[in-house]
Amino acid sequence: MIALILVVQYVGAWYGLEMVTISKEDELEKHLMDLGEVALPILRDAAAEILDVVNLTQTEATQPESPMTEAIERELVGLDALLRAPFEEFVQRGRLRSMSLLDRSGRVLMSTSDRHPFLSRFDFIEIDHEAFSAALQGRSAGSPAYQAETSPLKRVYTAVPSQAGGEPIAVICFTAGRDYLGQLEALAKNFRLLSVISTICVGLVGGLFYRLLVRQRRYERQVAHADRLTSLGSLAAGFAHEVRNPLEIISASTQDLEASLRRQGQVPPDLIEGCRDILDEVDRLNRLVNQFLQYARADAPAGAGETVAVAPCLRSALALLRRRAEQAGVALEVVEEPGSGEAVAAIGEDNLRQIALNLAMNALQAAPSGGRVQIGLAAEARQVRIAFLDSGPGVPSAMRSRIFDPFFTTREGGSGLGLSIAHQLAARVGGQLTCEDQAGWGGCFVVRLPRARREERLAPAAVPSTAH
């Protein structure tokens, strides 16, 4: 659309400029023709004398032994300044660029410009053939304006009639420069300047409309997403109710069956193991239902004014995972940059704890036995940065566009909701969760949360003790 507007604007402006240029050029050509009519009575005698001297010189040139040749040459040299004077004076008074007197064959008899030597063929005679021919027929005519080096030029040809009336004896070429064409030159410059300014303005307006359109579409997607989550939340509540009841019944019945089998004694171990498998699967289904409910409710409005001291909350959440890290043979460490211990983020403590647990658990599951998981905390000017690094294989670039989609997972037995929940919890407070590259590490997930405007010293969260 912007390109179409610019094309229409340029075509319209170019057409307008061409019309104005043609009008001004026609006006200038008429003025130069009128100037030629004024010049003829003044310059006709000088032109006739120059033509007589040239004819006499050419006649004597055919008789090289004639003693009159040198005298005529001296006379020609003496007459040169005298005969050029009225032409040069008229050039100054008429504010012309130059003036040339041409014979009927197009040779230069006299020129106020050093560019055209005596009796040389006029440079523009071929280009201006039509105008020159019209002048020989007694009609003044002009050539189109053009740009020569750094100056605009235009030529008009006017015939010098003979005293006896008949065919013209010579042609005078008037060349006008910037004094006449300056307005056209200024108009073209202004057009280019206005074109640049209008392009910038249209580009700015187009950019503004594009940003508004992108924001509108993002808002529409968010509204549609919120509507889907609302429907999903209602569905999840009913789903959880319908699923949890039979799961509790299955769990209770299986526990009773296991207890009964143990009391009987001498029961095959596979029966006891089968009961434990049933209970494990029931627990897994319960966890899956809880995660599904949490995802469906993750877009609920955040509490106004919620803040949390990041470092204590982070240490508290990760303390719950140390035992699991030891069992997996993975080294778990927290690295706090200077000044980050006092950082306060604009997010609820429960939400931050859930983000930390989900991402840290994801890193522990990705790291191999003997590997490392590092959680780095840094306080920046307007946000708090928490990086979850692991020594696992990392996330392939082809999958990075989908890893935050719900139920997308590459791990066997995974629900595909942990990253989605963490991503939504960060986004709802104006933060973001991204997957990045970090030298020396496999996976790298970075959470950026806005810092609280007034960071008051909050009481650190209690760090639960862990049994070893």
61-96 pLDDT per residue, tens = 555 554 444 554 455 455 566 777 888 888 888 888
DSSP 8-state class, residue 122: P
Task: Please give the structure tokens belonging to residue 299.
Answer: 């877009």
245 CB-near residues (< 8 Å, 6+ apart):
none
Amino acid identity of 183?
Q
CA angle 82, 86, 91 (to 5 degrees): 135
- pLDDT exceeds 80 at position 110: yes
The reported pLDDT for the residue numbered 457 is 43
Q: Which of 386, 345, 357, 367 is nearest to 294 (CA)?
A: 357
Cβ 53 vs Cβ 76: under 8 Å: yes
Neighbours of 155 (CB within 10 A): 25
Q: pLDDT tens for residues 168-217?
A: 888 988 888 776 665 656 666 666 677 777 778 777 877 888 888 888 88
Amino acid identity of 229?
L
The reported pLDDT for the residue numbered 452 is 82
Mean pLDDT score, 283-298: 67
DSSP assignment of 151-189 equals EEEEEEEEEE--TTSSS-SEEEEEEE-HHHHHHHHHHHH
What residue spans in the chain does CATH classification 3.30.565.10 cover?
308-450
In our burial notation (b when 16+ CB lie closer than 10 A, e otherwise), range 301-337 reads: eeeeebbbbbbbbbbbbbbbbeeebeebebebebebe
Cβ 87 vs Cβ 108: under 8 Å: no
Amino acid identity of 251?
S
Q: pLDDT tens for residues 304-350?
A: 467 888 888 888 888 888 888 888 898 888 888 887 777 888 888 87
Alpha-carbon distance of 14 to 395, in angstroms, equals: 55
Q: How confident is the model at residue 36 (pLDDT cuts 50, 70, 90)?
A: confident
Task: Please give the structure tokens belonging to residue 93.
Answer: 């008074």
Q: What are phi and psi of 415, to 5 degrees?
A: -90, -20
Which helix (H) or strand (E) is 379 found in, with range? strand 372-379
CA angle 354, 356, 358 (to 5 degrees): 65
Q: How far is CA 334 from the centre of its chain?
A: 41
The reported pLDDT for the residue numbered 388 is 92
Alpha-carbon distance of 44 to 168, in angstroms, equals: 11
Q: Length of the chain, please?
A: 468
150 CB-near residues (< 8 Å, 6+ apart):
none
CATH class of domain segment(s) 191-296: mainly alpha
Task: Please give the structure tokens belonging to residue 290.
Answer: 């809880």
The reported pLDDT for the residue numbered 71 is 52
Alpha-carbon distance of 454 to 102, in angstroms, equals: 90
Summary count for the chain: helices (H), strands (E): 9, 13
Q: How confident is the model at residue 20 (pLDDT cuts 50, 70, 90)?
A: low
DSSP 8-state class, residue 397: G
Which helix (H) or strand (E) is 313 found in, with range? helix 310-319
Which helix (H) or strand (E) is 294 found in, with range? helix 269-296
- pLDDT exceeds 80 at position 360: yes
The whole-chain average pLDDT of the chain stands at 76
What residue spans in the chain does CATH classification 3.30.450.20 cover?
2-176
Integer angstrom CA distances of residue 299 from 82, 385, 415, 440: 99, 22, 19, 35
Q: What would you report as the CA-atom Rg of the chain, rounded to the nearest whole angstrom?
A: 48
Neighbours of 410 (CB within 10 A): 12
Q: pLDDT tens for residues 40-54?
A: 888 877 788 787 777
Alpha-carbon distance of 137 to 216, in angstroms, equals: 72
Alpha-carbon distance of 28 to 153, in angstroms, equals: 11
The reported pLDDT for the residue numbered 462 is 41
Q: pLDDT tens for residues 385-424?
A: 999 999 888 887 777 777 777 666 666 655 567 787 788 8
Tell the CATH superfamily of the 2-176 domain. Answer: PAS domain (3.30.450.20)
CATH class of domain segment(s) 308-450: alpha beta
Cβ 317 vs Cβ 462: under 8 Å: no
Q: How far is CA 204 from the centre of its chain?
A: 11
| Strand-pair category, 146-148 with 151-160 | antiparallel
Q: How confident is the model at residue 446 (pLDDT cuts 50, 70, 90)?
A: very high
Alpha-carbon distance of 49 to 44, in angstroms, equals: 9
Alpha helices in 62-165 (DSSP H): 68-93, 129-136
Q: pLDDT tens for residues 368-385?
A: 888 999 999 988 888 899
Q: Which of 173-177, 238-242, 251-255, 391-395 has the lowest mean pLDDT?
A: 238-242
